[in-house]
Amino acid sequence: MQCQWLNNHPNQVSDTSLSHLKDKQVTQALEANPVHFKTQFVGYMEMYSDGDTVANYLNAHQDWFCRCAAPMKTEAMGNNGYILTVGRFGSFGYEVEPKLAVVLEPPVHGVYEMHSVPIPDEPYLGYEVDYQASMNIKEIPSHLGGPGLAKAFKKQHQTAVPEIITKVEWHLAMDVAVQFPKFIHKLPLSMIQKTGDRLLTQIVRQISPRLTYKVQEDFHTRQDLPIPPKTSRHLEKIEEVALEQAA
C-alpha cells in the first residue's frame, strides 16, 4: 500500500510559504519534544460459523495474518509477532513510512489482546507507536446478525442458514509520538495536532475495513461458506467527548 495525503488539511499553509521550510528538512535536527497523535475505534465482524471454529481459525494466525494484511509489508517476528510497514503518509511536506511491531497474545477466556512492542534491532525512526487492541468472540443467534445473512446463503445456493453465528468485537487505541524536524514546529501546534489526529484516523479507516473483509473472505472461503456482505462488519471512531463522559 502506498498512500499519500500531503498538504490536505483545509487550513493548510500555501506551498510558497512552506518552500523555504522544506529546504531545511534534511539539515535540521529533530525537535526534542514529540507531538502525540491519538485515535480510538470500536468495530465488529460476523463469522457465519460457531465460536470454536472461529477461535481455531484466529488462533492459527500464522496461516492467515500475513496474507490478509497485504498489501502491507509484513514480516513474522517469533511465534506471535509481526512487523508491519503500513505505507507512506505525510502532511506539511514531511513524510514517514510507519513501521510497528505487534504481538498477538494467546486468548484468555475468549479475549484476544494485541499490542505493540519495540522493533527488534531497529534504530530510532523519529516516532514511536503505541498500539493497543482487544478482541472478543461470542456466539449469537443468526437472526440477530446483520441484514443480508439469509441472502448471502441463498446466493450460494445454501438454504440451511445456521442457527448460531459468531460476532467478533474489538476495540483499538493508537498513540503515535512523532519527533518532527524543527521546521515543522514553525507552524501552529494546533494545526499540527489537528492534521496529525485526522491523518491517523484516516489511516485506520483505510486499513481496518480492508483487513476485516480479507479475514472474513479467507475464513469463509476455507469453510465453504458464503462471504458476509458489507452490513456484517462495522467500524466506528470513538470521539473525545464520548471518552470524557465515560471517564
Residue-range domains of the chain with CATH? 31-246 (3.30.530.20)
Residue pLDDT, tens place only, 146-197: 999 988 998 887 778 899 999 999 999 999 998 888 888 888 999 989 988 9
Residue for grid cell 487505541: 173
Helix axes 189-222, 51-59, angle to 10 degrees: 120
Which residues of the chain fall short of a pLDDT of 70?
A: 1-32, 88-96, 240-247
Cβ partners under 8 Å of residue 218, min gap 6: 64, 67, 68
CA distance 82 to 211: 15
Largest CA distance in the chain: 66
CA distance 81 to 241: 34
Residue pLDDT, tens place only, 38-49: 999 999 999 999
Cβ partners under 8 Å of residue 214, min gap 6: 67, 68, 69, 70
